[in-house]
Amino acid sequence: MANHFKKTSSAISCSVCPVRQLSMYQAIPDSQLDIVQQYRAEQRSLPAKTHLYHQGDKHTNTYTLFSGWVMLYKTLSNGGRQVLRYALPGDFLSFQPDMTGPMTHSAQTLTDSTLCVFPRQNLLEMFHKHPELAVQIAWITARDMTLGHEYLVNVGRKNARERLAFLFLELFHRMRMHVPELGNTMPFPMTQEDIADTVGLTLVHVNRTLRSLRQEGLVKLAHHSLTILDYPALSELAGYNAENLVNQPLL
Amino acid sequence: MANHFKKTSSAISCSVCPVRQLSMYQAIPDSQLDIVQQYRAEQRSLPAKTHLYHQGDKHTNTYTLFSGWVMLYKTLSNGGRQVLRYALPGDFLSFQPDMTGPMTHSAQTLTDSTLCVFPRQNLLEMFHKHPELAVQIAWITARDMTLGHEYLVNVGRKNARERLAFLFLELFHRMRMHVPELGNTMPFPMTQEDIADTVGLTLVHVNRTLRSLRQEGLVKLAHHSLTILDYPALSELAGYNAENLVNQPLL
DNA sequence: ACTCAGGATTAACTTAAGTTAATGTCACAT
DNA sequence: ATGTGACATTAACTTAAGTTAATCCTGAGT
C-alpha cells in the first residue's frame, strides 16, 4: 500500500499559527513558541479517508490537528464500529494512558487534513521543561472525557431523534468556536453510516429519523452540509445546553 | 437535612496509606509525602447511599477515595440517569475541565466510604510545586477517558448479554488490582437498577438477561455478591481483553 | 454523454428491548 | 412475630429499532 503521508512543503511557523489558541499550546507564551516548534517533528498532510493510525498499532507519534476533520473510533471483535469523537482543528490526538502500548482506537481523516506531528518522546521532555503543558493536557483530556460522557448519556438514555439532535448541536457548537462568524449552516463531512456508528443506531434507522427531522423542519442535511433550521426545538429535543462544552483554559 | 459528613477521628497518615500505589500519589516519593498530607484538608467518612456532590453544584473539593465504592452518574432533563463509572479506592474524584463551574455529574456512595479531601485551591498549588502530579493527573484522566470509551462501545454496539458480561469483567478486573488475592467472588454493591442505568437497559430487561446468564452457568449474582463461574465464556461474550485496563504509571 | 461506485432512500418484515403491572423475597425496625 | 419498604422476579403485551433487500442519486472519471 502506498504511503499517503506527505510532508507539507510550506510548514507554518507556530508563532503565526491560527489555531494555537484552540490547542494545548495556548498555555505557552509567544516568546517561547520557538521551543514548541523544536519539538514538532513535521507538519503532515493527508487526503480524506486515510488512516492516521489503527487500533492495535504501536504508534510513537502524537498530533495536533491543524486543519480538517478526523474521526476517532473503536472496532469490535464482531466487526462493529463505535465512533468516539470527531476532532476539529486544535485538537490533540493519540494521547492515551499506555503511551508505549498499542493504540486503543483508530483515527481516520474525513476530509483532507494537515497535522502537526509531535513524537511521544518529545512530549515527555516538553512536560519536563514546561510543566504548564502537563496541566494543560490534563485539562484537555478532562474536557474530552466530559464530552465522552455526554456521548455515553446520548447513546445510553435517549431515543433516535434525541441522539441525532444532540450530535448536530454538539458539532454545531464546537464548530462555532472555530468559526465564530458561522451562520446556521456548517460543513458536515460524515456519511449516514458514520452518524449511525456515532449514536449507536443502524444506517437505515438514522435515515428514517433524519427524514422525520427534516419533514418537521428542524434541520436540513444534504451534500455534506448541515443547516440548523429550528434551534430551540433541536435544543429541547437534545436536552442540550451549550455550557456543557467548556473551552476555557484551566489556569 | 442532616449533614452526613463526618471527619474521621483517626485520619491515616499518607506515609502509611495502603491505597497510595493505586492513586495519583504513587508519583510522589515517600520522602515528600508529608507535603501531600499538608494539602489534604481532612479525611471524611460517609455512610452508604449519600451524595458527595450533585450535578449542578458548585463544588470546591477534590477527593481521593480511600475506601468504599462511589458511583458517578449524570441526570437527564427527562429524569433518566446514566452511570459514568464506578470509583474504587485510590480513584480521583470531581476533577473536571471547568474547575470553577458547576459539577457536570453527581457522585454517590454505594457503601460506607472514606475519602481524603483536597480543596481545588490546593490542587493548583500542588501542581505548581510537583509538576509530576500534573502529568499523573493527565495520565489518570486519560485512563478514565479510555474506560469511558469502553462504556460507550458497550452501550452503543452490544446486545444486553454482552453489555452485562462486559460490566462484570470490567469490575472484576479492576477489583483484582485492589485485591490480588481475590477469588472468583467479589462484592457487588449495586442494585439491578444501577446496572440498568450503567449499560443503557431497563431494570426488567437486566433481570431477564441476568436470569439467562445465570441459567447458562456464566455468573451468579445475589445478595450483593458476584461470582464469575465461566470466565472464558464471559470474556468471549464481552469481547473483553484485560489489557484494556492499564494501570501502569506514565513515566 | 456514459458508466460506476459510494451513498441515500424506502418499504416490508422481524426482533430485541421497553412497558406495565403483579407477586415474591429479604433485611430490618417495632 | 409482624409490618414495612426496598429490591428482585415474572409474565403479557407493545414498540422502537434492526434486518433485508431493492431502487435511486450524484459526482468523479473516461
- Sequential DSSP letters for A28-77: S-GGGHHHHHHH--EEEEE-TT-EEE-TT-B--EEEEEEES-EEEEEE-T
B242 lies within 8 A of chain A by CB: no
Statement: residue A246 has pLDDT above 70: no
Residues of A in contact with B248 (CB under 8 A): 98
The pLDDT assigned to A130 comes to: 86
A71 and A170 part of one domain: no
Determine contact, residues A57/A42, Cβ cutoff 8 Å. no
Determine contact, residues B38/B130, Cβ cutoff 8 Å. no
* CB-count exposure of residue B3 (10 Å: 0-12, 13-18, 19+): exposed
Instruction: Tell me how close the Cα of B89 comes to any Cα of chain A, in angstroms.
Output: 19
CATH code: domain of residue B80: 2.60.120.10
Determine contact, residues A89/A27, Cβ cutoff 8 Å. no
Q: Which domain holds residue B53?
A: 6-133
B90 and B183 part of one domain: no
- Of A97, A132, A167, the position where a domain reaches its end is A132
A168 and A128 part of one domain: no
A189 and A73 part of one domain: no
**Which residue among A77, A101, A244 places its CB closest to the CB of B246?**
A101
Name the grid cell of B75: 441526570
Q: Is the CB of B34 under 7 A from strand D?
A: no
- What gap in Å lies between CA A248 and CA B6, rounded to an integer? 35
Domain-embedded: residue A231: yes
Domain-embedded: residue B146: no
Domain-embedded: residue B153: no
Statement: residue A1 has pLDDT above 50: no
The pLDDT assigned to B243 comes to: 57
- Of B133, B150, B174, the position where a domain reaches its end is B133
A26 lies within 8 A of chain B by CB: no
- Whose grid coordinates read 451524595? B51
Residues of A in contact with B76 (CB under 8 A): 153, 157-158, 239
Determine contact, residues B214/B220, Cβ cutoff 8 Å. yes
Distance of CA A66 to the CA centre of its chain: 11
The pLDDT assigned to B9 comes to: 60
Statement: residue A2 has pLDDT above 90: no
Tens digit of pLDDT for each residue in A44-62?
Answer: 999 999 999 999 999 999 9
The pLDDT assigned to B250 comes to: 46
Domain count, chain A: 2
CA of B161 to C1' of C15 (A): 15
A118 and A193 part of one domain: no
Q: Which of residues 59-78 of B touch A (CB under 8 A)?
A: 74, 76-78
A119 and A223 part of one domain: no
Residues of A in contact with B95 (CB under 8 A): 138, 142
Q: Of all helices (H) and strands (E), which one includes residue B228?
A: strand B225-228
Cα radius of gyration rounded to whole Å, chain B: 18
Statement: residue A202 has pLDDT above 80: yes
Chain A residue whose CA is closest to B103: A244
- Across chain A, what does the average pLDDT equal? 91
CATH code: domain of residue B224: 1.10.10.10
A126 and A169 part of one domain: no
Longest dimension (CA), chain B: 56
Residues of A in contact with B251 (CB under 8 A): 124
Phi, psi of B202 (to 5 degrees): -95, 160
- CA A56-A58-A63 angle, 5° bins: 105
CA of B188 to C1' of D3 (A): 28
What lies within 8 Å, CB to CB, of A191 at 6+ separation is: none
A178 and A223 part of one domain: yes
CA of A187 to C1' of C2 (A): 31
Domain-embedded: residue A137: no
Tens digit of pLDDT for each residue in A94-126?
Answer: 999 888 889 999 999 999 999 999 999 888 888
Domain-embedded: residue A33: yes
Domain-embedded: residue B30: yes
Domain-embedded: residue A149: no
Domain-embedded: residue B142: no
Mean pLDDT of all residues in A84-97: 96
A56 lies within 8 A of chain B by CB: no
Statement: residue A170 has pLDDT above 80: yes
Instruction: Tell me how close the Cα of A57 comes to any Cα of chain B, in angstroms.
Output: 14
A103 and A198 part of one domain: no
Q: A242: how many CB neighbours lie within 10 A of its CB?
A: 12
B112 and B19 part of one domain: yes
Per-residue pLDDT tens, chain B, 251 aa: give them: 444 566 666 788 999 999 999 999 999 999 999 888 999 999 999 999 999 999 999 999 999 999 999 999 999 999 999 999 999 999 999 999 888 889 999 999 999 999 999 999 988 888 888 888 888 999 999 999 999 999 999 999 999 999 999 999 999 999 999 999 999 999 999 999 999 999 999 999 999 999 999 999 999 999 999 999 999 999 999 997 765 555 555 44
Statement: residue A250 has pLDDT above 50: no
The pLDDT assigned to B124 comes to: 84
The pLDDT assigned to A128 comes to: 84
B121 and B175 part of one domain: no
In degrees to the nearest 10, what's the CA dihedral of B117, B118, B121, B122?
140
B171 and B81 part of one domain: no
Confidence of residue A8 (pLDDT cuts 50, 70, 90): low
Chain B residue whose CA is closest to A155: B156
pTM of model > 0.85: yes
The β-bridge partners of A61 are A119
B79 lies within 8 A of chain A by CB: no
